[in-house]
Amino acid sequence: MRALRILLILAVVLGGIFVGIDRLAVAYAESEAAGRMKLSGARSDSIEVDIKGFPFLTQAAAKHLDRVDVRAAGIQAQAGDRKIRVGELDVVLRDVTVTGDFSGAKAGTATGTALISYADLTAASEHEATLAYGGNGKVKVTGSVEVMGRTLTRSVLSTVTVVNGDTIKVRADEVPGEASRAWRTWSAPAPTSSARSTCSPA
């Protein structure tokens, strides 16, 4: 009975040591991955890597990771001839295979979401228009047009849709009569090799 108790205590201690070593190893791997990771055609203020799954050491030995979460903040990307700031980018990588001597990796699937503020979209616009939240999933676009020698400033509520998976389209639900002829198209560039933004008020 005493021998069984000693064996149980040893198993608990060794298990705790293994868990501790495993967590230290994953923390080191996450730090190294974050330091080496680069965004194509852009730079970011910070990148965080979170390797999921336990134990990590067995995944590392097999050079196969079930899931890796990546978060980048303060991304400065190119949008046409202008720069655009992406506040946050969250990417989920699944079925990740580590290549070579852990110098690279290839994911089976990748999904992500990006957060771009209205202020940053406005700054990247090719036209003098301001974008803001319009409520109920709408975007409010405010701009000025010249009609018969007069400058008119109007705001319209617009609907946002995704076209072909790589284009964000903003279309005005209704354009004020005075500006309907002048406001035919409105567009704003999006980050290179990412999404495009277009707006067609009428």
Q: pLDDT higher for 155 or 65?
A: 65
pTM: 0.69
Query: What is the overall mean pLDDT for the chain?
Result: 77
Mean pLDDT, residues 150-175 taken together: 76
**Beta-carbon contacts of residue 160 (< 8 Å; ≥ 6 apart):** 137, 138, 139, 168, 169, 170
Mean pLDDT, residues 63-78 taken together: 88
| Predicted confidence (pLDDT) at residue 142 exceeds the cutoff of 80 | yes
Q: pLDDT higher for 126 or 158?
A: 158
Mean pLDDT, residues 30-40 taken together: 80
Contact 170, 198 (CB under 8 A): yes
Mean pLDDT, residues 157-176 taken together: 74
